[in-house]
Copies of this chain bind each other. A is one copy, B any other.
Amino acid sequence: MADINSKLEIGVTTGPIRGSKKIYVPAQSNPSIKVAMREIHLEPTSGEPPVRVYDTSGPYTDPDAAIDISAGLPALRREWQLSRGDVEEYEPREVKPEDNGQLGPDRSGGVPPFPTALRRPLRAKAGKNISQMHYAKQGIITPEMEYVAERENLGRARLAEYNRSGESFGAAIPDYVTPEFVRDEVARGRAIIPSNVNHPESEPMAIGRNFLVKINANIGNSAVASDVASEVDKMVWSIRWGADTVMDLSTGRNIHDTREWIIRNSPVPIGTVPIYQALEKVGGIAEDLTWDIFRDTLIEQAEQGVDYFTIHAGVRLPYIPLAAKRMTGIVSRGGSIMAKWCLAHHKESFLYEHFDEITEIMKAYDIAYSLGDGLRPGSIYDANDEAQFAELYTLGELTKKAWEQDVQVMIEGPGHVPMHKIKENMEKQLESCGEAPFYTLGPLTTDIAPGYDHITSGIGAAQIGWYGTAMLCYVTPKEHLGLPDRDDVKVGVVTYKLAAHAADLAKGHPAAQVRDDALSKARFEFRWRDQFNLSLDPDTAEQYHDQTLPAEGAKTAHFCSMCGPKFCSMKISQEVRDFAAKQNQPVETFVAAEEAEKGMEEMSKVYKEKGNELYLPAED
């Protein structure tokens, strides 16, 4: 397992994922755009082609890439941005002591400022709108859209081999993704490409129900624990295993600098909840929050390159009393901050009141909204209640307001929901939010398994992903109990990756089943290494295998520890197949059971004549 433990001095994991090779595929529409993918090579004896899989890991898994965390990643999108002629560099807002939690100008929190953070940010020129949605509505196909199209097409070249099956509940997944399809989806608000102009390091990706289901991993300092080095490491670690976006939910001190280190080194979009930092700036007293402080925080984060903001603008004053009837009240941190503010001032939320001004800022940087569900249920008991849906309808109203300015939007969703109430969430969201992408946390399908909430929620996530949710926010085993460590992050990511994939399969996504089939075939043919390498977590798969059969020879053995060498159902299946083949009868002719029965007598004779080892005369 040398590959996963080889770390740079500053402690991130690099090197290829076991059995895989990083490749860069030129986009069919524009070969100058090189799209990062991962290719899993199978045993040469198998005669099977390599399997291409979606890759979120960035340059960290490329052995030829020079990784320097203090320098950050290359600015992949910088030229595309400048070539459009609608942005300008400008003098950034000065970093203030309160940005890092009142630590003073020396920032004495153990977190140094990012070395090259003095660059001048970009923003839209006056009167311009640089959102991907704006371009899309103008009919412009951007390089970002071309990148996304190529990226989403994994395996579709093999489409002819598959019959599409699935139930997509009204989604419109195409056989093949073209740049024009991406443009159209973004234009109509059904997909977003989060891409802050100040995060040129990010590799374009789309979130929308007609694309592969995505997953998000949350990381971040808290006032109680964590440090910046481990947060950067967790970001790199989470994208290694498949996180499509990462949210930095840091609270406490060093928020600004922690975020800068994360963004500069992240090839995936970064989301934040700006109200968290704003709250730190007023010493944790929600009532002291003001629109000016919040606005300034948005600018600060916009200049750093945050790709999407969770904005809890749907927590309106009149909805707050609805939460008093609940078993678990308001469990969203952002939601409760706003509730406390509204209650204390008896005023409508400043986020709701200033929504159009927030949108103005978003469009100047191309930041996407992630409209927060501040009133999501925190227990099975509270699922699908009035408070939750009152807020959802307001989010729908705000979606339309954001779209008026061509700003990209997704909608956050619950939370804790028993299985029979999940579909209603999806249906109401599609209806009230005009098919804007849904981005849900789980949902957890029961409350009785703390320590296993990655699973209680993975069950809900797979289902809501199938119904149409575009991105699933992971839950780790530590949910409700503590802060996730590196191992928890991996378990959370892999769990959500498999849930998202199960959803893609059920939706009938034509690119999805390629990998299942390749792994199943490897399993049937006892290609153990291929089976490990094709799995979401090759290291764990191999480790589990070796716990029972550690010998190197067992990796090429045509048996496993379940039945042992003497008897194996896979071997018998192969014998059944060989039996058919020996008669020069193609397997396809073994169609109906009735016909097969008729032919069996004759086949048996042939079998006997050929002296197959299987044969023994009937006994009684």
Contact = CB atoms under 8 A, between A and B. Distances in A.
Given A322-B590, A455-B498, A478-B547, 10 more contacts: A251-B563, A287-B614, A287-B616, A321-B580, A329-B572, A329-B574, A459-B462, A459-B502, A482-B546, A482-B561
A593 interface: yes
The main secondary structure of chain A at its interface with chain B is helix
Contacts of A549: 224, 482
B505 A327 contact: no
B519 A447 contact: yes
Contacts of A327: 517, 520-521, 524
Nearest to A597: B318
A616 B517 contact: no
A381 B462 contact: no
A293 to B, nearest CB: 10
Contact of A520 (B381, B458, B593): B381
Chain A, interface size category, equals 35 or more
Contacts of A499: 455, 459
Contacts of A290: 619-620
Contacts of A503: 419
A500 to B, nearest CB: 10
Contacts of A565: 223-224
Contacts of A167: 420
A381 B516 contact: yes
A495 B332 contact: no
Interface string A240-269: 000000000001100000000000000000
A279 B568 CA distance: 12
Nearest to A515: B448
A520 B223 contact: no
B419 A462 contact: yes
Contact of A590 (B321, B445, B452, B548): B321
A241 to B, nearest CB: 11
Given A378-B520, A446-B498, A564 B223 contact: yes
A501 B459 CA distance: 12
A459 B534 CA distance: 21
A532 interface: yes
A543 B478 CA distance: 10
Interface string A320-337: 111111111111110111
A545 interface: yes
A119 interface: no
B561 A222 contact: yes
Interface string A461-484: 011001000000000011011110
Contacts of A321: 576, 580, 590, 593, 596, 599-600
The 10 closest A-B pairs by CB, nearest first: A329-B573, A482-B548, A346-B604, A223-B564, A379-B520, A336-B569, A318-B597, A419-B506, A321-B590, A451-B540
Contacts of A336: 568-569, 572-573
Contacts of A418: 166, 502, 505-506
Contact of A596 (B225, B318, B328, B513): B318
A569 B344 CA distance: 15
A345 interface: yes
B485 A547 contact: yes
A610 interface: no
A419 B380 contact: no
A329 B577 contact: yes
A339 interface: yes
Contacts of A333: 562-563, 567, 569
Contact of A563 (B223, B450, B532): B223
A523 interface: yes
A173 to B, nearest CB: 13
Contacts of A286: 567, 572
Nearest to A618: B345
A91 to B, nearest CB: 27
Nearest to A279: B567
Nearest to A564: B223
Contact of A534 (B287, B448, B508): B448
Nearest to A550: B482
Contact of A448 (B480, B535, B570): B535
A497 B340 CA distance: 38
Contacts of A452: 494-495, 498, 536-537, 540
Contact of A449 (B382, B466, B513, B537): B537
Nearest to A374: B569
A450 B566 contact: no
A64 to B, nearest CB: 27
A5 interface: no
A544 B498 contact: no
A13 to B, nearest CB: 18
A176 interface: no
Interface string A206-250: 000000000000000011110000000000000000000000000
